Amino acid sequence: MTLARHVGAAIAAAAVIWALSVALNSFRDYQIADIAVYVVAIAGLTVLIGLSGQISLGNGAFMAIGAYATALLQMHLGWPLWALFPASAAIAAVAGVAVGAAAARLHGPYLAGATLLLAVALPSFATQFPGVFGGDQGLPVTVTAPAALGATFPPTRWLAWVNAGIALIVLVLLANLARSRVGRSWRAIRDDEAAAALAGLNVARLRVLAFVVSAACAGLAGSMLAVYASQVSPGSFTVTLSIALLTGAVIGGLGSLAGALWGSLVIVLVPTYVMDVATSHGLSSTVAANIPVAAYGVVLIAVMLLFPAGIQGGVRRFFGLTPPTAAGPFARLNSLRRRPPASEHQEEGTT
Amino acid sequence: MNKPHRVRAFAIAAAAVAAAMIAAGCSSSSSPSSSSGAATASAPGITAHQILIGSHQPLTGPAAPGYSEIAPASNAYFQYVNAHGGIYGRKIKYTYLDDGYDPSKTVSDVHQLILQDNVYAIFDGLGTPTHLAAVSFINSSKVPDVFVASGCDCWNNPSKYPETFGWQLDYIREGKILGAYIKKHFAGKKIGYFYQNDEFGQDGVKGLDYEIPSSQVVSRQTYVPTNVNVGPAVAALKASGAQVVVSFAIPAFNALFKLTSLKLGFSPTLVASNVGTDPLTLGGLLEAYAKQAGATVNGNQLTNGIITDGYLPTLGNTGNSWIALFKKVHDTYDAKAPFDGNVLYGMAVGYTFVQAMMKAGKNPTRADLVKAINAGLPQGPAVAPYAYSSSDHSGVTGAYIGTIMNGALVQQGPVYVTDTSPTGPVTTYAGSEQAAPATGMP
């Protein structure tokens, strides 16, 4: 039943997106494709943080893995588009197993630090091995709309369809996963690891699994980014990207898939909109160029002050909805705060 | 028990998609549609009163220092043109978006400019990796891609990129001109290379190798812009006993090279590419980096004696008609920026665009602009002629050798011209430089 409802909602959303992609201009189609990339990446991260209670500042690196996998598989093996997406997600998932295995032993700031290391270090592989990864210039990715759509079919609309379609599939899968036994187990270990272990849950394995799901989503998003930008290069996967994903998840509302969408909209639309406004008001270019960054910060502060549970939390409050679970996505920030071993705090208190 | 909430949350998500996309749609419909308009709207981006062009520029991020001055300087020159009658009565509107030197942002910027803003042409898109990411899309959209702000030889590919034109002296020609000078003036000396490991540095080294005997080159060291530790590279150059180091590096890495060699007690003669040696930028960086490390240095003192090349008149040559013109434009429209090499670059490339538009005719299509440049452009502010033809899309063909003295570039000797082939000779340019028109308009 739940599956049917999720699929039904996704089909309704698909119809809306289809209508929008036809009605709006080519650039808006392009932005839809861009938003879809962030939806997938942030949805994967919000599941990791919100449900399993782990943090990752390194999902930008998993995106890089997926993106380069896409470019290399297309360049050397000539794989078709439909095969590139699952393959890239699978390759990133394998990387997620490796990182997750290490990460499952770490908590709180240590986990954040370890994953941050990944985000900083991984993109420089591309410049260290320019023969394979194309150095700073990266690798090209070619995407053409199927000939059946006609010669005059706008290529950006095809991009919007592909990326939005994938995003909806991912949202349905994640929504079901979150409601499944695995999702419940994640919440259990998030809220109290010891209690979950006593109840017979394999805490380490569940933590690694959350990492793998998150990495697979990031890899898929990276693959979508490569297709959307028709190239991959290390400049796209700086540490700023990983931070932006985390920001999107927090702004949208941790643990909420709808929140992933809100976060993506903020990340993609706010800078372009603000830049347009700034330049149309005749601000000097150096000032205007920095206004999107400032606006981003203002939005972040405003959301945290007004809706500590993110935009989705605000929406729920506005419509008078209660949080979906007893613990709720709001408790998740607190649960993160609880992570460092209590003994440390005591030591700090006594010295 | 909480099933209804979950379903509702999901439905809200779907509604949110719709609402947000509709909001996005509304803002797009309010933007001006420049393709429809008066009868003289001869191409997308051109109306009876306006020519809209766009660009991607590193206004923030690692490449912003110095390079972020270029687009405002071009715009200052366009404002001067607009105030003096415009191009056949049309005013130029120049929209440049920030890409932060991130290629995927460049791709998105260029989509916005072409699909949404409907620009007539992409002008002076800055950077090799950034512009390479967007060049295919620009060409498949049949939008003129004029005067890319990068000396990569890759823009000169008329069969693959018929819409794309380089502008500045390309790095192969520059390497050949510097190489010929080194061969002549440092015969028998040990030469070391220090270069950026991408098309920029590799093209430059290609040109150097065409001229300098390989037996003289004792060490080849590279860097990547993302790693500021140049210590190992400098140590290797020192160990090789290089007496002359040729650098194809951006200003930040020339500064790092200079400071690191100072620390290691290594003082070769430095010969460096034009892009990395704007004296104001380089001197400022040297002082800033030294300060970070707790030392005080004099930027002008450290840049003294660096040998480089130039394809635009030197800034210190105030008697030059181009410098006088651009100084006047700078003081009126761009006074807040320092009058340095970046500003000069922006104005000169802006002038070239106006030249090309005047030649493209009164009511030009996009193809008319490409055709006009393919037929060649008269020499403008540059010291050597352009190479433009239907089979050659590279820009300026020559440069003079200069030395930095007291924070300013001083020309030494004549202007040299050459081509990009391995065997094409480097010759002294016989023609003369052009004087700027009295009106300041092509």
Residues of chain B with C-beta less than 8 angstroms from the C-beta of A238? 102
Q: Give pLDDT tens digits for A14-69.
A: 999 999 998 988 889 999 999 999 999 999 999 999 999 998 999 999 999 999 99
pLDDT of residue B396: 96
Residue A86 pLDDT more than 90? yes
pLDDT of residue B5: 52
In this complex, do A235 and B104 lie within 8 Å of one another by their Cβ atoms? yes
Return contacts of B252-256, CB within 8 angstroms, 24+ apart: B252/B62, B252/B65, B252/B225, B252/B228, B252/B285, B253/B196, B253/B223, B253/B225, B254/B282, B255/B282, B255/B285, B255/B286, B255/B289, B256/B228, B256/B230, B256/B289
Query: B186 and B165: one domain?
Result: no
Amino acid in position B407 = G
pLDDT of residue A322: 60
Distance from CA of B103 to the nearest CA of A (A): 6
Residues of chain A with C-beta less than 8 angstroms from the C-beta of B22? 20
Q: Give pLDDT tens digits for B321-352.
A: 999 999 999 999 999 999 989 999 999 999 99
In this complex, do A322 and B5 lie within 8 Å of one another by their Cβ atoms? yes
Task: Please give the residue that has the higher pLDDT: either B16 or A307.
Answer: A307
B160 in a domain, yes or no? yes
Using an 8 Å Cβ cutoff, are A53 and A336 in contact?
Answer: yes
Instruction: Tell me, yes or no, if B339 comes closer than 8 A to chain A by beta carbon.
Output: no
Instruction: Tell me, yes or no, if A136 comes closer than 8 A to chain B by beta carbon.
Output: yes
Q: What tokens does B311 get?
A: 């394809």
CA–CA gap between residue B279 and residue B404 (Å, rounded): 7
Mean pLDDT, to the nearest integer, of A109-129? 87
Among residues B258, B288, B310, the one where a domain terminates is: B310
Instruction: Tell me, yes or no, if A22 comes closer than 8 A to chain B by beta carbon.
Output: no
Residue B149 pLDDT more than 50? yes
Angle, CA B384 vertex, CA B433 and CA B68 arms, to 5°: 105
B427 in a domain, yes or no? no
Instruction: Give the residue numbers spanning the domain of B287.
Output: 172-310
Mean pLDDT, to the nearest integer, of A254-271? 90
Q: Give pLDDT tens digits for A207-248.
A: 999 999 999 999 999 999 999 888 898 888 888 889 999 999
pLDDT confidence tier of residue A292, bands split at 50, 70 and 90: confident
Query: B223 and B188: one domain?
Result: yes
CA–CA gap between residue B116 and residue A154 (Å, rounded): 13
Residue B18 pLDDT more than 60? no
Angle, CA A132 vertex, CA A131 and CA A137 arms, to 5°: 75
Residue A277 Cα distances to A270, B85, B268, angstroms: 10, 28, 51
In chain A, domain spans = 2-350
Using an 8 Å Cβ cutoff, are A291 and A275 in contact?
Answer: yes
Distance from CA of A201 to the nearest CA of B (A): 23
Among residues B310, B331, B346, the one where a domain terminates is: B310
Instruction: Tell me, yes or no, if A258 comes closer than 8 A to chain B by beta carbon.
Output: yes
Average pLDDT, chain B: 89
Instruction: Tell me, yes or no, if B296 comes closer than 8 A to chain A by beta carbon.
Output: no
pLDDT of residue B8: 52
Residue B116 pLDDT more than 80? yes
Distance from CA of A99 to the nearest CA of B (A): 24
Residue A330 pLDDT more than 60? no
Q: What is the DSSP-derived secondary structure letter of residue B387? A: -
CA–CA gap between residue A257 and residue B363 (Å, rounded): 52
Using an 8 Å Cβ cutoff, are B110 and B137 in contact?
Answer: yes
Query: B82 and B162: one domain?
Result: yes
Q: What is the DSSP-derived secondary structure letter of residue A255? A: T
B34 in a domain, yes or no? no
Query: B280 and B335: one domain?
Result: no
Q: What tokens does A174 get?
A: 């994640």
Which positions 47-86 of A are in contact with B (Cβ < 8 Å)?
none
pLDDT of residue B400: 96
Query: B180 and B160: one domain?
Result: no
Using an 8 Å Cβ cutoff, are A219 and A65 in contact?
Answer: yes
In this complex, do B102 and A238 lie within 8 Å of one another by their Cβ atoms? yes
Domain count across chain B: 2
**Exposure pattern of A156-184 as b/e (b: 16+ CB <10 Å)?**
bbbbbbbbbebbbbbbbbbbbbbbeebbe
B350 in a domain, yes or no? yes
B8 in a domain, yes or no? no
Residue A137 pLDDT more than 80? no
Local structure of B307: helix, strand or coil: strand
Query: B98 and B214: one domain?
Result: no
Detail the DSSP E strand segments found in chain A.
139-140, 231-232
Query: B142 and B62: one domain?
Result: yes
B430 in a domain, yes or no? no
Could you tell me which chain B residue has the CA closest to the CA of A178? Answer: B6
Q: Give pLDDT tens digits for B151-176.
A: 999 899 999 899 999 999 999 999 99
In this complex, do A32 and B21 lie within 8 Å of one another by their Cβ atoms? yes
pLDDT of residue A286: 66
Residue B224 pLDDT more than 80? yes
Residue A61 Cα distances to A95, A114, A118, A123, B213, angstroms: 10, 12, 6, 7, 43
Distance from CA of B278 to the nearest CA of A (A): 20
Distance from CA of A345 to the nearest CA of B (A): 36
Query: B85 and B159: one domain?
Result: yes
Local structure of A301: helix, strand or coil: helix
Interface mutation target, options B7, B10, B79, chain A, most CBs of A under 10 Å: B10
pLDDT of residue A331: 47
Q: Give pLDDT tens digits for B32-76.
A: 333 434 447 889 999 999 999 999 999 887 778 788 999 999 999
> In CATH, what is the architecture of A2-350?
Orthogonal Bundle (1.10)
Residues of chain B with C-beta less than 8 angstroms from the C-beta of A236? 102-105
In this complex, do B104 and A231 lie within 8 Å of one another by their Cβ atoms? yes
Q: Give pLDDT tens digits for B377-401.
A: 999 999 999 999 999 999 999 999 9
CA trace torsion A65, A70, A71, A73 (10° rounding): 110
Span of A113-127, A171-185, A317-331, B125-139 with lowest mean pLDDT: A317-331
Which positions 45-104 of B are in contact with A (Cβ < 8 Å)?
57, 59-60, 68, 71-72, 75, 95-98, 101-104
Mean pLDDT, to the nearest integer, of B217-225? 91
Q: Give pLDDT tens digits for A155-206.
A: 889 999 999 999 999 999 999 999 999 999 999 999 999 999 999 999 999 9
Q: In this structure, what CATH number is given to the domain that contains residue B295?
A: 3.40.50.2300
Amino acid in position B415 = V
B30 in a domain, yes or no? no
Query: B203 and B289: one domain?
Result: yes
Backbone angles phi, psi at A122, to 5 degrees: -60, -45
Span of A138-147, B311-320, B340-349 with lowest mean pLDDT: A138-147
Distance from CA of A235 to the nearest CA of B (A): 5
B326 in a domain, yes or no? yes
Distance from CA of A82 to the nearest CA of B (A): 22
In this complex, do A275 and B98 lie within 8 Å of one another by their Cβ atoms? yes
Could you tell me which chain B residue has the CA closest to the CA of A233? Answer: B103
Query: B176 and B278: one domain?
Result: yes
CA–CA gap between residue B16 and residue A148 (Å, rounded): 32
Q: Give pLDDT tens digits for B75-100.
A: 999 999 999 999 999 999 999 999 88
Q: What tokens does A37 get?
A: 């990339």
